[in-house]
Chain A
Amino acid sequence: MCACRCGIKVHLEDGKLRYIEGNRDHPVNRGVLCAKGSAGIMSAVSPARLATPLKRIGPRGSGSFEAIGWDEAMSIATRRLAAIRATDPNRLAFFTGRDQSQSLTGYFARMFGTINYAAHGGFCSVNMAAAGVYSVGGAFWEFGEPDWDRARLFLLFGVAEDHDSNPIKLGLGRLKERGAKIISINPVRTGYSAIADEFVAITPGTDGLLVLALAHCLLEAGDVDTEFLIRYTNAHHLVIDAPGAADDGLIARNEAGRELAFDRRSAALVEAGAAGIDPALAGAFVLPDGRRARPAFALLAERYLDPQYAPEAVAGRCGVEAATIRRIAAEIAEVAFRQAIVLDQPWTDTSGRRHEQMTGRPVAMHAMRGISAHSNGFHTCRAIHVLQMLLGAIDTPGSWRYKSPYPKPIPGGPPPGRPRGPGRPLDGSVLGFPTRPEDLLVDEAGEALRLDRAFSWEAPLAIHGLMHMVIARAFEEGPERIDTLFLFMANMAWNSAMNPGETTRMLSACDDAGNYRIPFVIVADAFASETVAYADLVLPDTTYLERYDCISLLDRPIGSAHGPADAIRVPVLPTGREVRPFQDVLIDLAGRLGLPNFADAEGKPLYASYADYIVRHERRPGIGPLAGFRGADGASIGRGAPNPGQLRRYVENGSFWVHHLPPEQLYYKHANRAYLTGAKAMGLIESDEQIVLQLYCEPLQRFRLAARGHGTRRPPERLRARIASFFDPLPIWYVPLEEAMVDRERFPLHAITQRPMAMYHSWGSHNAWLRQVLPENRIYLHAGRAAEIGVRDDDWVWVRSRNGSVRCMVRTMTGVNRDTVWTWNAIGKRAGAWALQNDAPEFRRGFLLNHLISEYLPKAGDAAPDSNSDPVTGQAAWFDVTVSIEPAGPDSPAQTAPQPAANPLRIKRSPEPVS
Chain B
Amino acid sequence: MMTRNFSTIPFIIVITLISMPLMVMYGFLILDTFTDAPAGELWPDRFTLKHWRFLYDFSEVGNVWVATFNSLTLAVSMAVIVLSVSSTAAYAISRLHLPFRRFFLAGILVMHAFPAVTLLIGTFFVLNFSGLYNTMIGVILVKASLLLPFGIWIMKGFYDTVPWEIEMAGVQDGASRFTVWRRLILPQVKPGLVALGVFAFLDGWGEYLLPSILAPGSDMQVLSIFLNDLIAAERVGYDFNLFKSVGVFYTLPVVVLFVIFQNRLMNIFGGGTKG
* Chain A complexes with chain B: no
Show the binding face of B for A, using Cβ within 8 Å: none
Show the binding face of A for B, using Cβ within 8 Å: none
